[in-house]
Amino acid sequence: MLKLSRLTDYAAVVMAQIARHPQASHAAADLAEAVQLPHPTVSKTLKMLVKAGLLVSQRGVQGGYRLARPASHITAADIIAAIEGPVAMTECSQAEGECDLAATCGVADNWQRVSLAIRTLLESVTLAHLADTTPIKLPVQLPIQSISLASA
Amino acid sequence: MLKLSRLTDYAAVVMAQIARHPQASHAAADLAEAVQLPHPTVSKTLKMLVKAGLLVSQRGVQGGYRLARPASHITAADIIAAIEGPVAMTECSQAEGECDLAATCGVADNWQRVSLAIRTLLESVTLAHLADTTPIKLPVQLPIQSISLASA
DNA sequence: TAATTGGGTACCATTTTAGTCCTGTATAAA
DNA sequence: TTTATACAGGACTAAAATGGTACCCAATTA
């Protein structure tokens, strides 16, 4: 299904929540309340986002989390990578060494191109887009079609 | 990682193998040999592809598998869906009923737009592309960029 | 009728994921 | 300096998904 993990979903929701009030410091408990998810789980997610450098944290009274940089400079790919690791479609596309089956595979190159296209797409969607409640109007039909046609 | 399952990877490899010899009937054992994967696993994958309507099978002596339609009319999205179910990024984007958290989610709409863009991309890549050993040249930089800009 | 080849399904082992909890540490206010 | 607050890090468990195998049945053809 090419599905995101549930934690990644949480991460996006939480990041969006923070992005809507960028000047404030957000405690984990407050965020959990705001998005109606269990505190420990939200907390775990936040820690991962800090480790990935998307959030900065402040301990102690009045502490909490803030964006590490403007929402327009944080991409969907960043958020996904923070929770799930590098965005890649196949195992061989992230392994260092060659895949044992490279000789008989025959699709590796083109899969990687598709993977790259998806990554580029995800890098072009920012947290600012996601946090905005007004829809992004994606004119997917035409530009995307042109990608496949390029090979024909 | 937005990664495909390993079986999906196998499916793509096997489909590409069949697509390169579209007129022949391919027995599961022969395909397993050709792609250097265990027979039972390849067999399982083939059954899923038949059930999804991407391959047709013939039992008995000289039986085997063939493409159900030309490789140019089978998409990457078809293959992924055959193994993993419908292509969707989030759980809520495939569930019938509303998500309980819809009220506090705040990113649902735009995630779905991203999901749609990816699906459209995957639908634009055909098995003919994947089976071709010459690379598809994807000019991803420009057209994809234009998608995000459309919201700005 | 016998050999071949796919269909369907059940099953198990392993890995991944989700979720919780506990202990430690930094901060700020009293 | 003490104390309450809030994050850091990691261990741990339970549940689910995944990968892989095996078995028996059905269809086809020689």
Better-predicted residue by pLDDT, B57 or B132: B57
**Interatomic CA distance for residues A125 and B111, integer angstroms:** 10
Picking from A34, A50, A130, the residue whose alpha carbon sits closest to that of residue B103 is A34
In three-state secondary structure terms, A55 is: strand
Q: Are A144 and B138 in contact (CB under 8 A)?
A: no
Q: What integer pLDDT is reported at residue B141 of this predicted model?
A: 36
B42, closest nucleotide (Cα–C1'): D20
Residues ≥6 apart with Cβ < 8 Å to A66: A18, A22, A24, A25, A26, A55, A56, A58
Q: Is the pLDDT of residue A140 over 60?
A: no
CB contact under 8 A, A114 and B76: yes
Query: Taking the domains of chain B in order of start, what are their residue ranges?
Result: 6-134
What rounded mean pLDDT belongs to chain A?
Answer: 82
User: Which residues of B are less than 8 Å from A109 in CB distance?
Assistant: 133, 135
Percent of chain A clearing pLDDT 90 (strictly above): 55
Picking from A84, A89, A70, A85, the residue whose alpha carbon sits closest to that of residue A127 is A70
Cα distance from B96 to chain A (closest Cα, Å)?
Answer: 16
CATH topology of domain B6-134: Arc Repressor Mutant, subunit A (1.10.10)
Nearest-CB residue to A89 (from B2, B129, B136): B2
CB contact under 8 A, B147 and A139: yes
Q: Is the pLDDT of residue A135 over 50?
A: yes
**Residue the block writes with tokens 């939480």:** A14
Query: Could you say which architecture CATH assigns to the domain A6-133?
Result: Orthogonal Bundle (1.10)
Give tens-digit pLDDT for B25-39. 999 999 999 999 999
CB contact under 8 A, A88 and B35: no
Q: Is the pLDDT of residue B74 over 50?
A: yes
CB contact under 8 A, B1 and A120: no
B9, closest nucleotide (Cα–C1'): D19
- Strand C proximity: list residues 15-34 of B with CB under 7 Å: 26-29
Q: What integer pLDDT is reported at residue A134 of this predicted model?
A: 63
Give tens-digit pLDDT for A84-104. 987 677 766 554 555 666 667
Query: Residue A35 CA to D16 C1' — how many Å?
Result: 24
Q: Is the pLDDT of residue A79 over 60?
A: yes
The mean pLDDT value for B95-102 works out to: 62
Q: What integer pLDDT is reported at residue A40 of this predicted model?
A: 96
Handedness of CA B114, B120, B124, B129 (dihedral sign): positive
Give tens-digit pLDDT for A37-74. 999 999 999 999 999 999 999 999 999 999 999 999 99
